[in-house]
Chain A
Amino acid sequence: MISFAAPQFAWALAVPAAILALYFLRRRYMPRAVPSTFLWRRAVRDHAANRPLQRLRRNLLLPVQLLAALLLVLGLMKPMISGGTAGRTVMIFDLSGSMQTVSAGKSRLDLAKERALETIAGLPAEEEITILTAEDGAGRTALTTTDREEARRAVMALTCGNGTADIDRALSLAEAIRREDEDTGARLIVYSDEYIPAAGVNAVNVGRGESNRAVYSVSAEEGSVYARAANFGEACTLTLVCRADGKTVEAKETEIPAGETAGVRFTIPEGTRIAEVEIREADALAADNRAEAPVIRSVKRTVALTADSLFLESALRVRPDVAVIRAEADALETTAADLYIIGESPVIFTLHPAETLFTWAEEKEAEGALSSAGENPLTAGLTMKNVALRTLRPLTGGKGALLAGEDVAAAYADGEAAVGFDLHDTNLPLKYDFPLLIQNILDYLLPPATEVVPETADPMPLRESDVRSVAPETEAAGTSGGRVRGRDLTEWCLAGFLVLLLAEFLLAREPWVRNEGRGRG
C-alpha cells in the first residue's frame, strides 16, 4: 500500500493537466507565402527518411512530459510503501524546554509529533513501536506497543518541560534495545531540535532558528537585584521588569546586540524576600523570559575580645558580618557572643569560653621562623614568608597549624583554635598573612550565615544550541539495519523525473514538423 507523507502537494497534479492542455493548443506559426513548398516537402521527407524514429519521437514527447510531471508531483507528495516485514521502530522525543519554541503557531514538539504520526501511519501493521523520551537528563521508555492507535495516543500526549534533555543517554538506551533485536534490526528515529550526528539514526530535526531572548540569570541581595539578559536572535531592545515580592518596582530598557548578553541592576525595597525579573516583549520561547531569585541576607556575628590588640581588632573587622565587642576575662560566661577571643599569649579562639582543650608550656625562645604545619584550614592561602617570632608558648592538643621549629605555635581543634605567642612578639601582624590567618580562623570557627532562603523556581537552563536551531525540517538518510520495512519512494520519483527530463530534452531537440494541405507537386 502506498501512502503519501506530504499529500498537501496533490495540488501540483494540475501541472500535468496544464501540459496536456498546452500540448493541444496549436503552436503559433507565422504564415509565409512561398512560390512552392515542393522543395520544403522534399526536405521534410528526406529529414524523416533519415530519422526513422522521427514520427515515433513526436508521438513519445507528450507521454514522456506527462510522466515526468507526474513523477515530480509524486515526489513532492513523498510516497511511501508501507508493509513488508514487521520489525521494531524506536522513536526518541526530545522533551527539553527548547522544544516549546513556537514558530508559525506550532511548537517544535508539535512539529515533531506530526512527523512521528506520519511515520507511524506508514509502518507495517505488526511493527513494534517503542517511544522513548529524553527529558530532565534521563531517557525513559514511555511505551512499547504494536497497536498503532496506542502509539499515536502516546505521541499526542507528550509534553515537554523546562529542563534539558540528555539525548545521548536516550540514544544509549535505544541502542541497547536495538541490540536485543539484532534479527529484525530496530530503526531509531530521533525527534529533536538538536543536531544529532549519530550514525545509524534517522534524525528528524525540527525548528527553524526562531529568535529568542531570555533572562539568563538573577541574583539578589538586600536592596538590589542584578539580572543578566541574553539575546539569541537579532539585535534588539528589551524591557526588563523587576518585581519585589510580586509588585513591580522598576522597568528598564536595554539594548542587546545579536548573540550577546547584558546586565541590568535594579533597586528593591528593604525586606524584599523574592525578586523577579521578566522580559516584557514576547518571543518564540516564553518559558525563559522570567527568572526569580531569593534576596540573600547575611546574619551578624559577635566576637568578644578580651585582649587589647588593635591588630586583632582590625583583622576581625574585615568580615562585614562580624561585630567586635570588648569583654572582661572573668565576665565571659555572661557575655553573649558567637566567638570568644581570650588572652594575649596564648590567644585562645573559642566558641565555649568555659574550657579549652589546649595546654601550653612555659614561654621560650622560638627556634625558628613561623611556618605552616602542612595543609590545614588555618593556613590556607598563607605564604608565611619571613615571619619572625621571638618567643612562644608551645601548644599541646589539637592539630598543629603553625610551627616554630618543632614547637607548635598555632593549633586548632573542634570548636576552638589557639595562637601560642603574643602578637607583639612577632612581625606577623605586619604581614599580609595576618588578616588572612584571622579570617581563616573565623571561617573555621564562625562560617558566614544567611537567613533561610525562600524557595524560588529555577530558571530554565539555557543552551545556545537549544534555541538557535539548525537546519529546517529534514529527515536524514540513515541506515536502519536489518530488513527493509516500508520504503520511501521520494528519491526514486525524483530520479525518474530527471531521467525523463533528459529524455524529453533529447526528443524535443529536432524540429517538430507537420505537413498539411492537399494537392500534389
Chain B
Amino acid sequence: MLTDAFLSRLDTLQLAVRGRARGGAGGTRRSAQTGSSAEFSDYREYIPGDDIRRIDWNALARFDKLFLKLFMEEQESAVTILLDASASMAEKWELARQAAETAAYLALTGGDRLRVYCLREDGNRMSPVLSGRPAYARLCQFLDACEPAGEGCLAEAVRRVDGLRKGLCFVISDCYEEEGIGGTLDYLRYCKQECGVIQPLSAFEMDPELDGAVRLEDSESGRKVEILADRAVIRDYRKTLERFLDETRGECFRREVPYMLLDGRKNFGEEIIPLLVENRFV
C-alpha cells in the first residue's frame, strides 16, 4: 500500500486522456457532449423550443438575433488496469503493484470508474468496479489476494478479458512476449482502449551479477539455460536487454501509446511521478 505522503503528492495529478470521455455518469472528465455544466463552450442560433434561460441577451443586443450559450458537460471515464500476474512478475511484483496502485489512485481520485484485472494462466482475477477515493482500500485488498504464478501469455490473457469499456487502459507487464506487445496493443485499441504501458523490471533483470557456471531456471516456464557467466556473456545480455526495451518502446511509440520503464534499481517513490509526467501519463 502506498504511503499517505505519496498519495497526497498524487492528489495534484490527473490522468491524461487524449480523447473525450464518453461515460454514462457524471464525472470530472470533459465529455464530447455539451451539457449543463458551468464551463462555457460555444454559441448557436435559437431554435423554437430551446430553453429560453440559455439565451445570451448580450448577443441579442449586439447582433439583434437570438443565440444560445452552450456549456461542456463533465462525465466520468472508464479506467482499466491489466496487471500481468504470471510467475515472471514475482521478483518485481512489489514494483508492479505499486505502479498499479498509483494508476488506480489517480483514476479513483479523478472520478473515474476503475476495474483491475490480474492476468494469470489459470484464469484472470477481476476486481469489482471501483470509484471514488474510499475505494482505494478495497483495491489494496484485492491486490493483496493476488499472487503472481503460472506461465502466462499476455496476449492470450488480455483476450480473455471481458467487458472492456472504452476508456483508459494501463498494461503493467514485463512484456516478455516472443511476438512483442504490439499485437496486444492493437487488440486493446480495437477495444477502444487508450493504452499506456508500464514495464517494471527488477534490479537483477536490469543489471545481472553472475559469475562462473550458472544454470538459470525460468520461474515461469521452468526452462533452463546453462551459461558460463563472464564479462562477454553479461555484455551480450545487456545488449539484448537494450534491444528488447527499444523494441517495446518502439511498439508503443508507433501506436502513440505512452510507455514507461520502471527500473527496480531505483526508488519507486522518487521515480514514478517524474516518469508519469515525462511520459504523458498525467
Mark B240-269 against chain A: 1 for CB-CB distance below 8 A, else 0. Answer: 110010000000000000000000000000
Residues of A with C-beta under 8 A to B241: 39
Q: Which of A27, A41, A521 is close to B225, meaning CB atoms less than 8 Å apart?
A: A41
Whether A463 sits at the interface, judged by CB under 8 Å, is: no
Check A511 against B223 for contact (C-beta < 8 Å): no
Are A46 and B240 in contact, CB atoms less than 8 angstroms apart? yes
Cβ of A32 under 8 Å from chain B: yes
Pair A43/B217 contact, Cβ less than 8 Å: no
Beyond A34-B217, A36-B218, A38-B218, 13 additional pairs, beta carbon < 8 A: A29-B213, A29-B215, A30-B214, A32-B214, A34-B204, A46-B239, A511-B227, A513-B225, A515-B224, A516-B226, A517-B221, A517-B222, A521-B153
Using a CB–CB cutoff of 8 Å, the interface residues on chain B facing chain A are 87-92, 151, 153, 174, 176-178, 202, 204-205, 210, 212-230, 232-233, 236-237, 239-241, 244
What is the CB-to-nearest-CB distance from B251 to chain A, in angstroms, rounded to a whole number?
Answer: 16
User: Chain B CB within 10 Å — which of A31, A35, A517, A521 has the most?
Assistant: A35
Q: Which residues of B lie under 8 Å from residue A521 when comparing CB positions?
A: 151, 153, 176-178, 220-221
Which of A30, A47, A519 is the one whose CB lies under 8 Å from B223?
A519
Cβ of B176 and Cβ of A513 under 8 Å apart? Answer: no
Interface size on A, residues (CB 8 A): 32
Residues in A neighbouring B228, C-beta threshold 8 A: 511-513
Tell me the bound Cα distance from A515 to B224 in angstroms.
Answer: 6
Asked whether any CB of chain B lies closer than 8 Å to the CB of A247, the reply is no
Report yes or no: A40 in contact with B224, Cβ–Cβ below 8 A.
no
A518 at the interface (CB under 8 A from B): yes
> Is A153 interfacial (CB 8 A cutoff)?
no
Say how far A76's CB is from chain B's closest CB, in angstroms.
Answer: 32
CA distance A512 to B214 in the complex (A): 11
Separation in Å of the B97 CB from the closest CB of chain A? 15
A-B contact list, 14 entries, CB within 8 Å: A31-B215, A31-B217, A32-B217, A35-B90, A39-B241, A41-B225, A44-B227, A514-B225, A515-B225, A516-B225, A517-B223, A517-B225, A519-B221, A521-B221
Are B216's CB and A35's CB within 8 A? Answer: no
Closest to B177 in A: A521
Q: How far is the CB of A25 from chain B (nearest CB, A)?
A: 13
Q: Which of B87, B174, B215 contacts A30 (CB 8 A)?
A: B215
Q: Answer whether residue A457 sits at the interface, using C-beta atoms and an 8 A cutoff.
A: no
Closest to B234 in A: A43
Whether A36 touches B236, Cβ cut-off 8 Å, given contacts A29-B214, A42-B244, is no
**Chain A positions within 8 Å of B178 at CB level:** 520-521
Please give me the residue from chain B that is nearest to A28 by CB atom: B213
Q: How far is the CA of A177 from the CA of B102 in the complex (A)?
A: 105
Which of chain B's residues have a CB closer than 8 A to the CB of A36?
88, 174, 176, 205, 218-221
Q: B53 to chain A: closest CB distance in Å?
A: 62
Contact of B224 among A28, A39, A516 (CB under 8 A): A516
Q: Give the shortest distance, in Å, between A57 (CB) and chain B (any CB).
A: 14
Chain A residues with CB below 8 A from B221, complex form: 36-37, 517-521
Contacting pair A43 B151 (CB below 8 A): no
In Å, the complex CA distance between A167 and B214 comes to 67
Taking a contact as CB atoms under 8 Å apart, the answer to whether B220 and A35 are in contact is yes
Chain A residues within an 8 Å CB radius of B87? 35
Q: Are A519 and B88 in contact (CB under 8 A)?
A: no
> For B153, B178, B215, B227, which residue has the most chain A Cβ atoms within 10 angstroms?
B227
Are B237 and A35 in touch, CB under 8 angstroms? no
Report if A331 contacts B (CB, 8 A).
no
List chain A positions with a Cβ less than 8 A from chain B.
27-44, 46-47, 510-521
> Contact at B153–A42, with CB atoms within 8 Å?
no
Q: Are B222 and A518 in contact (CB under 8 A)?
A: yes
Which residues does chain B contribute within 8 Å of A29, judged by CB atoms? Answer: 213-215, 226
Chain B residues whose C-beta falls within 8 Å of the C-beta of A518 in the assembled complex: 221-223
Bound-state CA distance A514–B178 (Å) is: 20
Min CB distance A512 to B, Å, is 6
Query: Is the Cβ of B225 less than 8 Å from the Cβ of A39?
Result: no
Residue of B nearest to A40 (CB): B225
Closest 5 CB pairs of A and B: A517-B223, A519-B221, A511-B228, A29-B215, A38-B176
A46-B240, A519-B151 in contact; A30/B88 too (CB < 8 A)? no
Q: Which chain A residue has the least Cβ–Cβ distance from B201?
A: A35
How long is the Cα–Cα vector from A511 to B216 in the complex, in angstroms? 15
Known contacts A32-B210, A517-B224; A40/B151 CB under 8 A: no
CB distance A35 to B88 under 8 Å?
yes
Are A35 and B217 in contact (CB-based, < 8 A)? no
Asked whether, in the complex, the Cβ of A40 is within 8 Å of the Cβ of B226, the reply is no
Known contacts A35-B92, A40-B225, A521-B178: does B233 contact A511 (CB below 8 Å)? yes
- Chain A residues, Cβ within 8 Å of B214: 29-32
Inside 8 A of B223's CB, which chain A residues have their CB?
Answer: 37, 41, 515-519
Q: With the chains together, A18 CA to B275 CA distance in Å?
A: 59
Greatest chain B CB density within 10 A among A30, A34, A510, A511 is at: A34
For B220, what are the chain A residues with a Cβ–Cβ distance below 8 Å?
Answer: 35-36, 521
> What separation, in Å, do the CA atoms of A521 and B239 have in the docked complex?
19
Q: Evaluate contact between B91 and A30: CB separation under 8 angstroms.
A: no
Q: How far is the CA of A513 from the CA of B210 in the complex (A)?
A: 14
Q: Which of B92, B213, B218, B241 has the most CB of A within 10 A?
A: B218
**Smallest beta-carbon distance A519→chain B, Å:** 4
Q: How many Å from the CB of B148 to the closest CB on chain A?
A: 9
In the complex, chain B residues whose CB is within 8 Å of the CB of A40: 216, 225, 227, 237
Q: In the assembled complex, which residues on chain A have CB atoms less than 8 Å from the CB atom of B210? A: 32
**Cβ–Cβ < 8 Å partners of B153 in chain A:** 521
User: Please, how many angstroms separate the alpha-carbon atoms of A197 and B254 in the complex?
Assistant: 85
A229: min CB distance to chain B, Å: 66
A39 in contact with B240 given A511-B228, A513-B225, A516-B224 (CB within 8 Å):
yes
Closest partner residue, chain B, to A510 (CB atom): B232
Docked complex Cα distance between A516 and B224 (Å): 5
Minimal beta-carbon separation of B122 from chain A (angstroms): 16
Chain A residues with CB under 8 Å of B213's CB are 27-30
The answer to whether A47 touches B226 (Cβ under 8 A) is no
CA of A37 to CA of B89, assembled, Å:
13
Chain B residues with CB below 8 A from A520, complex form: 178, 221
* Smallest beta-carbon distance B165→chain A, Å: 29
- For residue B219, which residues in chain A have a CB less than 8 angstroms away from its CB? 33-36
The residue on A at minimum CB distance from B217 is: A33
For A39, the chain B residues whose CB sits under 8 A away are 176, 205, 237, 240-241, 244
A44 x B225 contact (CB < 8 A): yes
Most chain A CB inside 10 Å of its own CB: which residue of B90, B202, B205, B215 = B215
